[in-house]
Amino acid sequence: MKLKFNNVLLIVLLFLIACKQESENNHHTLQGFVFGTSYKITYLDTAIDYQKSLDSLFLLMNASTSTYIPTSEISKINNGDSTIVVDAIFSEVFTKAKRIFKETDGFFDPTVGNLVNAYGFGPKERLNDLTDEEIKNQMQFVGLDKVNLIDGKIVKEDKKIYLDFNSIAKGFGIDLVARFFDEKKIENYLIEIGGEIRAKGTKENNKPWLIKVVNPANASENGGYKTINLSNKSMATSGNYRKFRVSSEGKKYVHTINPKTGYATESNLLSASVIASADCADVDAYATAFMAMGLEKTKEFLKKHPNLEVILLFSNSEHRIDEYTTYIYK
């Protein structure tokens, strides 16, 4: 089985577990599609098949935060309904997004939703090239500091502000599954949705949860593979290598919108992978922020946040793929 991170240069080639769906010897592997991507969830220590329970969790997540479902809470709020009392999922995602927005000085900002749609990366109709004036006009609706949660309701300074949690919700969905397993006293599991991963405990025979990756920056070393130990850690990756759009005028736009400028132009940072003993939602958001920050600002941020490990792939001065990492490969 060959599993790829969505839209990134760092490719997960192999979980070091069986690829077929199985449910035997208290070892379960569930596979399917959710949040517009695929998932693979492996858990041990129980004979119970939790597929229906996980499906219910995914439905709750979509009903709260999916911009692709017109009846979701976030869609209703984006359409101007100010009477919605948000559920616990929305409240927690919003609160977490606010914290990381402040930590990253606004480089993580879910209010870029209008620009995401305008550039053709959301559920809205695609547009052609945006003029500087059009971008400037949209920027007045950007800034999570213009949105607050008061008495269970979202209050926006302007009703045109559009929230988009896609850069944190997938990781949060993984965290919901992890919490469910923890409540069921399951000590060993690995959850992967669209390339974002959270793992706890060990595999069978007390072996750590390992993934093998191929890194184009060092493909000639060790047969092109490197190993990452994700036991009791989360990992998320963001990148512009594959997800981009070319307008009718032939201009290339990447899917990471810089919330400081409103532009979707490619930088020398190609992908950012973040690893930490933290919620997957957190590393998901940080990975997005780093793509907006660029290489040098990310390095400065990491000096103040040594709890985060990163693998950054960038284009160097010779236009070759290079790597900056604080992660020590096993």
Instruction: Give the per-residue pLDDT at 9.
Output: 39
Rounded CA gap, 167 and 165, in Å? 5
User: In this predicted structure, what is the pLDDT of residue 64?
Assistant: 97
Q: What is the pLDDT of residues 59-70, one digit of tens each?
A: 999 999 999 999
- Tell me the two tokens of residue 306: 């040594």
Predicted pLDDT of residue 124: 58
Q: Which regions of the chain are under pLDDT 70?
A: 1-25, 122-128, 214-225, 240-255, 265-267, 330
Question: Is the Cβ–Cβ distance between 326 and 146 less than 8 Å?
Answer: no
The whole-model pTM stands at: 0.86
Q: What is the pLDDT of residue 318?
A: 82
Residue type, 324: Y
What's the pLDDT score for residue 8?
Answer: 37
Compute the C-alpha angle 214/218/222, nearest 5°.
70
Which residue ranges form the domains of the chain, and what is each CATH number? 11-74+86-325 (3.10.520.10)
Question: So what's the pLDDT on residue 24?
Answer: 60
Burial per residue of 91-105, b for 16 or more beta-carbon CB atoms within 10 angstroms, e otherwise: ebbbebbbebbebbe
Q: Nearest CA to 154 among 98, 103, 91, 67?
A: 91
Q: Are strands 27-34 and 37-44 parallel, antiparallel or unpaired?
A: antiparallel
